[in-house]
Amino acid sequence: MSYFRITLVRSAIGLPRRTTDVLKALGLKKRMATVFHAVSPSVAGQIMKVKELVEVREVERRLTKQEVHLERKPDPGYYVEKVGRSEFDESRRV
């Protein structure tokens, strides 16, 4: 079974009530929030109503909240492979 991964990219401030109601029905409250819905014609119709505000991808499975968070987390820019015990002790004494 495949799912729509829907992310709210643009804010709905100042838009008609009908548009904000569609976003609420999809479960999108805040910008950059992501929800997953099973692929169906009704959900596709709702997405088409707010297509300018959302980013949609079709995925094979739902991701957990933590998996979505780790996807968005930026690369730290460095990696610590191993810290020698003696180096660690010396740095604590100074």
pLDDT in tens, 27-77: 999 999 999 999 999 999 999 999 999 999 999 999 998 998 888 888 888
Q: 3-87 adopts what CATH topology?
A: Ribosomal Protein L30; Chain: A, (3.30.1390)
d(Cα 94, Cα 82) in Å, to the nearest integer?
A: 20
Report the candidate in 56, 59, 30 with the shortest Cα–Cα distance to residue 45.
56
The pLDDT of residue 18 is 95
Tell me the residue type at 12. Answer: A
pTM of the model: 0.75
The pLDDT of residue 90 is 67
Q: What is the CA radius of gyration of the chain?
A: 21
